Amino acid sequence: MIKAVRGTRDLLPPDTALWNFVEAAARDVFRAYNFQEIRTPIFEETQLFSRSVGEETDIVSKEMFTWEDRGRAQSDKGQSLTLRPENTAGVVRAYVEHKLWERGLNKLYYIGPQFRRERPQKGRYRQFYQIGAEVIGPPTAGSESPARDAEIIELLATFLDRLGIAGWNLELNSVGCPNDRASFNEALRKALRPVVSKMCADCQRRAVTNPLRVFDCKVPEDQPIIAKLPRISQFLDEPCRKHFRELQGILNSVGVPFAINDRLVRGLDYYTRTAFEFTHGALGAQNAVLGGGRYDGLSESLGGPSAPGIGFAIGEDRLVMSLKESAEPVLRRPDVYIAPLGPGMNREAARLARELRRHDLVVELGDESFRLKKSFETATRVGAKFTLIVGENEVKADSFAVKNLETGEQVSVRRQELVARIQSDR
């Protein structure tokens, strides 16, 4: 038997209804904040990710699905391509490629699969789904302002509240700008020098190439050492401090609670200033539902103009998981099961089904070969509210037996009153 590949999974009904519910709610919220949808390709040139996410990050150094694409001729050297491990790089590439600033497109959202070769476990998959958004634009459009950061974070709080996800926590930090980063890296290197030989192989490498990434380390034995390292908060310059203070001021003013976590650096190199994560207690070890941050230099590093930006990515798999326990059933049951009774009745039933569906009723259709008992059993199994019987007598009288499967009550309803009758009891 061929099975789904490790780390991938089939999303089946009724769960898919929950996924659609989440995506519909996201689209509603995005509309209210005037975001528009963008869909970028699932694979891109590998260097897009190595240049933006960063060579030394876990994503680029270990987790990408990369292959050498064949050239046109046998002798051509192929192009290195990669399944997208995240979507911000793709959105910013599209922003630069299509000069989206000229069209005033600066608030974009996406929904789609991402791919990382991680060790699969509950809440961590190799194909997973993200719902994300980016605010990006020229500095003259106010894209650098802490008001943008606050709006994005407030949007997220609104979205989680609307889904009824109680008990989320927001952790907030500022990771500073390139200036701060240089002196911070210097201090980190110095602090790491006497202790790094006791750390894991990854950290020993990071200490040389990109010391900030030491904070991504998950090895338990390294944690006491990491806890004693200098914090980025001590190295922020005055403009970065001010930006962070203003963001906090707006969040306080709109009543979005947060906690400062000055060890939060997020595992992607492009972040500057604001970095944040929403966690949820019910998720266990993989408790980060979503993460985001500011990336003021990303457009320039991809050959574009200065375009400060901020965005986030929600892990949709984890969001659905945290909803599963609390969510109201979102699956719409069939309103009516149509039971054709006897030869020739499939035609009549199909006509009726077409009519009722045009009025937005959910209709399940049986078959004329079924006995009445089997029809009722099937109607009950699919969860229909009514069974509508279509036999020769009914067609002649243009009036149909409608049985309410919850109360057991059965009445005869004229064709032109069917829709109103079924809708009134919905």
Question: Using the rule CB under 6 A, is 54 a contact of ligand AMP?
Answer: no
| Of 86, 134, 269, 296, the one binding ligand AMP by CB under 6 A | 86
Cβ atoms of residues 45 and 79 within 8 Å? yes
8 A C-beta contact, residue 426 and residue 417:
no
To ligand AMP, the closest distance from the beta carbon of 248 in angstroms equals: 21
51 binds ligand AMP (CB under 6 A): no
Positions 331 through 390 that interact with ligand AMP (CB under 6 A): none
Q: Are 286 and 121 in contact (CB under 8 A)?
A: yes
295 part of the interface to ligand AMP, by CB under 6 A: no
Between strands 36-37 and 107-115, the pairing is parallel
Residue 275 lies near ligand AMP (rule: CB under 6 A): no
Q: Which residue is nearest to ligand AMP (CB)?
A: 315
Among 124, 231, 415, 421, binds ligand AMP (CB under 6 A): 124
Q: Does 148 bind ligand AMP (CB under 6 A)?
A: no
- Amino acid letter, 333: R
Q: Does 274 bind ligand AMP (CB under 6 A)?
A: no
Q: Does 84 bind ligand AMP (CB under 6 A)?
A: no
Q: Is residue 199 within the footprint of ligand AMP (CB under 6 A)?
A: no
Query: Smaller CB distance to ligand AMP: residue 291 or 297?
Result: 291
Query: Is 90 a binder of ligand AMP (CB under 6 A)?
Result: no
Question: Applying CB under 6 A, does 130 fall inside the site for ligand AMP?
Answer: yes
- Residue 110 in the binding site for ligand AMP (CB under 6 A): no
Between 251 and 289, whose beta carbon lies closer to ligand AMP? 289
**Interaction of residue 152 with ligand AMP, rule CB under 6 A:** no
Contacting range for ligand AMP; rule: CB under 6 A; set: 115-123, 133-141, 391-399, 404-412? 115-123
Supply the minimum distance, in Å, between the C-beta of residue 161 and ligand AMP.
18
C-alpha closest to that of 44 among 2, 108, 92: 92
Query: CB–CB of 387/405 below 8 Å?
Result: yes
Q: Which of 291, 297, 340, 391 binds ligand AMP (CB under 6 A)?
A: 291
DSSP 220-287: GGGHHHHHTS--GGGG--HHHHHHHHHHHHHHHHHT---EE-TT---S-TT-EEEEEEEEEGGGTTS-
CB 295 within 8 A of CB 272: yes
Long-range CB pairs of 291-294 (<8 Å, 24+ gap) are 291/266, 292/132, 292/152, 292/156, 293/175, 293/266, 293/268, 294/149
**Residue type at 127?**
Q
Cβ atoms of 172 and 294 within 8 Å: the answer is: no
Q: Which among 294, 252, 254 is positioned nearest to 276, based on CA atoms?
A: 294
Interaction of residue 9 with ligand AMP, rule CB under 6 A:
no
The pattern of x and - marking residues 317 through 336 that bind ligand AMP according to CB under 6 A reads xx------------------
Instruction: Find the largest Cα–Cα distance for the chain.
Output: 94
Residue 421 in the binding site for ligand AMP (CB under 6 A):
no
> Closer to ligand AMP at the Cβ: 1 or 285?
285
252-271 residues near ligand AMP, rule: CB under 6 A: 267
Q: How many residues bind ligand AMP, per CB under 6 A?
A: 17
CB 99 within 8 A of CB 129: no
Between the alpha carbon of residue 5 and those of residues 9, 64, 120, the distances in Å are 8, 16, 11
CB burial class (10 A; 0-12, 13-18, 19+) of residue 169? middle
Q: Which is nearer to ligand AMP, 174 or 387 (CB)?
A: 174
Residues that bind ligand AMP (CB under 6 A): 86, 116, 118, 123-125, 128, 130, 267, 288-291, 313, 315, 317-318
